[in-house]
Chains A and B, each alone.
Chain A
Amino acid sequence: MRSEHWLFTIPLRLRSLFRRAQVDQELDDELRDHLERKTEEYASQGMTQEQAHRRARLDLGGIEQTKEKCRDARKVNWIEDLIQDLRYGLRMLRKSPGFAAASIFTLALGIGANTAIFSVLDAAILKPLPVNDPDSLLIVEWINPEFPAGVGNINGDFHRISAGRFQGSSISANLYRKLAQEQTVFKALVGIADPNSVAIVVDGQPAEQVSLQYTSGNFFQGLSVLPVVGRPFLAEEDRVGQEPVLIVSHRFWTERLGRDQNLLNHKVRINDVPAEIVGVTPPGFFGLRAGQWSDVYAPLAMRVAFSPTTGDKVARGEDDWDWWVRQVGRLKPGISKADATADIAGRFRAVAAQNLNVDASKVPELITLPGRRGFDSLNPSDASALWILTLLVGVLLLIVCANVANLLLARSVARQRESAVRLALGASRGRLFRQHLVESGLLGFLGGAAGLALGYALAQSVHLMFESGRDASSMFDLRLDTRVLGFTASLSILTSVLFGSVPALQAASAELNDALKSQARSVMGRRLRLPALLVSAQIALCLTALVAAGLLGRSLKNLKWTDIGFDRENLAYVSVNPGQAGYPTERLRSYVDRVCDEIARLPGVLRVSTVGHRPMSSGGQLSRVSIPGRSLRIEKGVVAPEQAATVNWVGEGFFETLSIPLLAGRTVDRRDVRADGEAVVVDERFAKHFFPNENPLGRHFGFNPNDNARYEIVGVVQDSHYNSLRDEQAAAVYEPFSPDPRKAIHFVIRASVDSQTLEGAVRKVIASVDPAVPLTEFHTQNELIDRLLRTERLLAVMSGAFGLVALTLAAVGIGGVLAYAVARRTNEIGIRMALGAGTGDVVRMVLRDSVSMTVLGILVGLPGAYAIAKVLKATLFHLQALDPRTAFLSFFALIVVAILAAWLPAQRAVRIDPMVALRYE
């Protein structure tokens, strides 16, 4: 029965939809025909043609109304209503292109900014790993009351979670393999290590640095990430002594191998060890940590092969005291997380007790964590920065909504006549409301589409700032995927409803009488209160944005120009890693000397030296200080800053190159390297902290309690910052350079030429001394500092941009409302001027409105500004949250903007000719 029904009606509905003109014409004809017949009948009853015609028309009622009712009767489907509304909306927008452009632009700005921040947030924190069924993944870590017995070294994470409990991420390769072998609860248990930087030579080209991660043999199969070219690792390949094999990332394959399907054609060397590429990962696979892209994967056992020779006989990485492999397991379906955890913990206890030769109770306890998003990608400060940005960008969107709502309100007032006529023609108020809402929806859609494009572009630049230095190994996978699209779509709908509902309500409640009469003479009363309130709301939000921008900006400035203890200008660092290129210990010193000489000879170079850890770069080494005769409470694996010192090795002339003054004693050079100990230089902090009230020169200390007289202090230099601009610095120890092929070497250069020239010249030098040694990095000191500050810079720039946009929008908002107020009060102003008011009075009137809106906004915005200051408190440097200068500057900026925005409307008000105004209705 139903299907028949549809069969009959579908052709009809389609016709109404697609052949409107024809259908309309037919309706017209039908009614006209009826009128004719009616007229005839009346005429036949004796009336005149004219009378009959009039009578017939009266009987019918209004033709247009009847037509409209017929049209309504045809419509059972709300879709037809919607389409009609859309067409109408489009037509209306086309009629006022200025308004449309302004609103779409502002919406695009607001939605775009939100999309950008969301896509970064999503990629960094929210999105699951791009693997099959990420919810079935579990990360396996362990907890222990102290540094595990029998373990010497832990890579990955190791930190205290509470008193007497530590959490660590990695176990030894051996233990991992034993665990992975028999699995009942996991479909697969894969192992992966943190990325290493290695030198790679492809087909004889110059060496470059890549990020390499060692993984278990079953890594790719276990994660169901099957290579698109070639094959995954085989279990047998994860054995010491096997031919090294590699799997590369899709990006590496595209950029370095030209998408060549014949992988085995290419000759590759990793740290000067030949290896074969056997597979390519799918595009979009970056590893297990968002923000960390590895370009090369190798089996765990290859760590032995690729590590530079140190003369150790022991197979590196295969001992049970070296814990460096993280584990991730894929749950078998039907097994609960708790069961899996208990099972694997028990198994580990047994295996580890046996291998480490310790009691089972001393073995760390395995725990599992959800692995859906992989390993944590952002450190807490970056994560909180991102949330702050999300907040600010939300505030911006609200301002945008208020702005567009105002524009719509102004427009709906102008269209009141139209609304009134439509109501008179039979439209229901509900219909009118819906139609205005659809118009808003249209604006929202267009703004959202533009915003999506803008957001994508913005996200790329936010991203660039976030991972400073465009380092290929730390990138987020920012794509316009369905999640981002969905977010933008929902945001567009939400904002449309937000800014559209009130103007729609106003339009639908248009009073017929008021509108159809000639312009009512109301002053800025009821009609303009709403827009004025919206503008005040905008200003309140703007205050929040400005305060945030001000605080973050000043904090950044304080941080950046903090005194770091040495001259940061004209200083550059060149990094090389000869150990990776195969240099043994004996040849290192001569290499370094040669390079130093050559660089010193370059024009413009004032001083050269070498250093192990570049000042003001991240990372570094913190070691516990042991002093003979003093006992220290030692907590294995954890170094308390007050008991430790940062250690750096320096070459000859280091302190002079950096302009760090020597306060006592002398500097160190190669003669101070002795087999049984070294002479070292310490900084003032060290001297004051560890040897207060005595002469530190000649005193001894060590980093190992069993060898605590190894180092002799021969000099004291001024304090300088090591790896942070913030205050808390540990004491510093400077050792003389002693060659170690495992470590990178940085040349520090003070030059009078610009960095680009210097870089070019230095590259040539490095290549000429030995082309097999890659120049891994070149950075000026200021660049390094900027890198350290990347989060703060990002926040300052973004909040500054948002503040500026918010201010502009507020200015536009004020200007708009004032202009409209002036237009409506033309009459009143004309009267006043005729009665003797001067230009000054008129201007004052306009200004008063402007300033009152602004002041109201500021007052309303104070709590919000206070709240955001509190939120930012943790990240501010040498700045209190309620910083008075920032607050006053923000108020000042808003007042100035209010006055400036009032200028144009005031001018217009002043130019009102009283005679014209009085006649104007």
Chain B
Amino acid sequence: MLLLKILALGPMNGFAVSQRLKQVSGDVLQVSDGSLYPALHKLEQEGWITSEWKTSEYGRRAKYYSLTRLGRRQLEKETDNWGRLSSAISRVIKLKEA
């Protein structure tokens, strides 16, 4: 879900995704490089993201991932689920102790 959200912000390559995630979450959420790429490939296999080889400013070739329409829908669904889950957890945690 997190990867999908990052990519919702705009197309980027794998390295950028992990950097962004680290940055935004304040170093709390980090994904190991070794699991990042398999995860990205899996997402692509499901059809939620798509990839494209682009040549960047410096003449460097890199693979850029972007969210698909299907992916956007999946993201919405997962965000909703997460919302429900987290509010449920909050309700439990906020219970006044006797």
Residues on A close to B: CB < 8 A?
4-5, 8-9, 12-13, 26, 29-31, 33-34, 36-38, 41, 59-62, 65-66, 69-70, 72-76
- Is B14 positioned at the interface, with any CB of A under 8 Å from its CB? yes
Q: What chain A residues lie within 8 Å of B42 (beta carbons)? A: 73-74
CB pair B32 A59 closer than 8 Å: yes
- Are B15 and A66 in contact, with the CB atoms below 8 A? no
Q: Which of A12, A60, A62, A72 contacts B44 (CB 8 A)?
A: A12
Q: Which residues on A sit within 8 Å (CB–CB) of B14?
A: 30, 34
With A33-B60, A34-B15 as given contacts, are A65 and B34 in contact (CB-CB < 8 Å)? yes
A34 to B47, Cβ gap below 8 A?
no
Taking a contact as CB atoms under 8 Å apart, the answer to whether A70 and B34 are in contact is no
16 extra A-B contacts, CB within 8 A, seeds A33-B60, A33-B61, A73-B38: A8-B47, A8-B70, A26-B53, A30-B37, A33-B13, A37-B15, A60-B34, A65-B34, A66-B33, A66-B34, A70-B37, A72-B38, A73-B42, A74-B41, A74-B45, A75-B45
CB pair B63–A30 under 8 Å, yes or no, is yes
Residues of B within 8 A of A29 (CB): 61, 63
B88 CB to closest chain A CB (Å) equals 27
Q: Mark B10-41, 1 if CB is under 8 A from A, else 0.
A: 00011100010000000000001111011101
Least Cβ–Cβ distance between A286 and chain B, in angstroms: 57
| Contact A76:B45 (CB < 8 A) given known A30-B14, A33-B62 | yes
CA distance A37 to B16 in the complex (A): 9
**Complex interface: chain A residues within 8 A of B15 (CB):** 33-34, 37-38
Q: Knowing A8-B70, A26-B53 touch, does A66 contact B38 (C-beta < 8 A)?
A: yes
In the bound assembly, the distance between CA atoms of A37 and B45 in angstroms comes to 25
CA distance A30 to B45 in the complex (A): 16
B37 and A31: CB pair below 8 A? yes
Q: Does B76 contact A (CB under 8 A)?
A: no
Q: What residues of chain B lie closer than 8 Å to A36, measured between beta carbons?
A: 60
Q: Looking at the assembled complex, report how far the CB atom of B71 sits from the nearest CB atom of chain A, in whole angstroms.
A: 9
Q: 3 tightest A-B contacts by CB?
A: A61-B34, A8-B47, A69-B38
CB-CB < 8 A to B62: which residues of A? 30, 33
Are A73 and B45 interface neighbours, CB within 8 A? yes
Measured between C-beta atoms, what is the minimum distance from A12 to chain B in Å? 7
Would you give 7 A-B contacts (Cβ < 8 Å), ordered by A? A5-B46, A8-B70, A9-B46, A12-B47, A30-B63, A66-B34, A73-B45
Q: Which of B32, B34, B39, B50 contacts A8 (CB 8 A)?
A: B50
In the complex, the number of residue pairs spanning A and B with C-beta atoms less than 8 Å apart equals 75
> Whole-angstrom distance between the alpha carbons of A76 and B69 in the complex?
21
Task: Report Cα–Cα, A4/B68, bound state, in Å.
Answer: 11
Closest A residue to B56 by CB, please name it.
Answer: A33
Are A73 and B34 in contact (CB-based, < 8 A)?
no
Give the B interface residue count (CB, 8 A). Answer: 26
Residues of A within 8 A of B37 (CB): 30-31, 34, 66, 69-70
Q: Which residues of B contact A4 (CB under 8 A)?
A: 69-70
With A4-B70, A9-B46, A74-B45 as given contacts, are A69 and B63 in contact (CB-CB < 8 Å)? no
In angstroms, Cα B14 to Cα A8, docked, is 20
Closest Cβ of chain A to B63, distance in Å, is: 5
Q: Closest CB of chain A to B66's CB: distance in Å? A: 13
Q: Which chain B residue has the least Cβ–Cβ distance from A77?
A: B45
Counting chain B CB atoms within 10 Å of each CB, the highest count among A29, A37, A61 belongs to: A37
Contacts of A59 in B (CB 8 A): 32-34
Query: Closest chain A residue to B53 by CB distance?
Result: A26
The answer to whether A9 and B47 touch across the interface, beta carbons within 8 angstroms, is yes
Which of B35, B37, B42, B46 counts the most chain A CB atoms within 10 A?
Answer: B37
Q: With a CB–CB cut-off of 8 A, which chain A residues contact B32?
A: 59, 61
Contacts of B19 in A (CB 8 A): 41
Closest to A72 in B: B38
CA distance A106 to B56 in the complex (A): 60
Given A9-B46, A33-B15, A38-B15, the answer on whether A73 and B60 have CB atoms closer than 8 Å is: no
Docked Cα-Cα span, A59 to B60, in Å, equals: 22
Assess the B61–A70 pair: CB atoms within 8 A.
no
With a cutoff of 8 Å between Cβ atoms, the chain B residues found around residue A65 in the complex are 34
- Complex Cα–Cα for A452 and B62 (A): 53
Bound-state CA distance A837–B63 (Å) is 70
Q: How far is the CA of A560 from the CA of B46 in the complex (A)?
A: 75
Distance, CA A412 to CA B9, complexed state (A): 52
The answer for the CA separation of A30 and B69 in the assembled complex, in Å, is 24
- B68 CB contact (under 8 Å) in A8, A30, A61, A75: A8
B38, A60: Cβ atoms closer than 8 Å? no
Report whether B68 and A73 are in contact in the complex, using a CB–CB cutoff of 8 Å. no
Residues from chain A with a CB closer than 8 A to the CB of B44 are: 12, 74
Contacts of B38 in A (CB 8 A): 66, 69-70, 72-73
Assess the A69–B34 pair: CB atoms within 8 A. yes
**Cα separation A29 to B63 with both chains bound (whole Å):** 9
Residues of B contacting A41 in the complex (Cβ-Cβ under 8 angstroms): 19
**Are the C-beta atoms of B47 and A73 separated by less than 8 Å?**
no
What residues of B have a CB within 8 angstroms of the CB of A69 in the complex? 34-35, 37-38
Q: From A67, which residue of chain B is reached at the shortest CB distance?
A: B37
The residue of chain A having its C-beta at the shortest distance from the C-beta of B13 within the complex is A33
B47:A5 contact, CB within 8 angstroms:
yes
- A86 CB to closest chain B CB, in angstroms? 22
Chain B residue contacts of A9, Cβ below 8 A: 45-47
Complex: chain B residue closest to A41, CB-CB: B19
Complex alpha-carbon distance, A72 and B39, angstroms? 10
Residue of B35, B39, B63 near A33 (CB, 8 A) is B63
* Most chain A Cβ neighbours within 10 Å, of B19, B32, B42: B42
* B36–chain A nearest beta-carbon distance, Å: 8
| Cβ distance A593 to chain B, nearest Cβ, rounded Å | 96
Which chain A positions have C-beta within 8 A of B41? 70, 73-74
Chain A residues within 8 Å of B35, by CB = 69
* Cα-based distance from A33 to B47 in the complex (angstroms): 23
Interface pair B33/A12, CB less than 8 Å apart: no
Tell me which residues across on chain A come within 8 A of B50, comparing CB atoms: 8
Q: How far is the CB of A269 from chain B (nearest CB, A)?
A: 78
Q: How far is the CA of A8 from the CA of B70 in the complex (A)?
A: 9
Residues of chain B with a CB closer than 8 A to A34's CB: 13-15, 33, 37
Question: Is the CB–CB distance between A38 and B70 below 8 Å?
Answer: no
B59 smallest CB distance to A (angstroms): 13
User: How many Å lie between the Cα of A19 and that of B37 in the bound state?
Assistant: 20
CB-CB under 8 A from A31, the residues of chain B are: 37
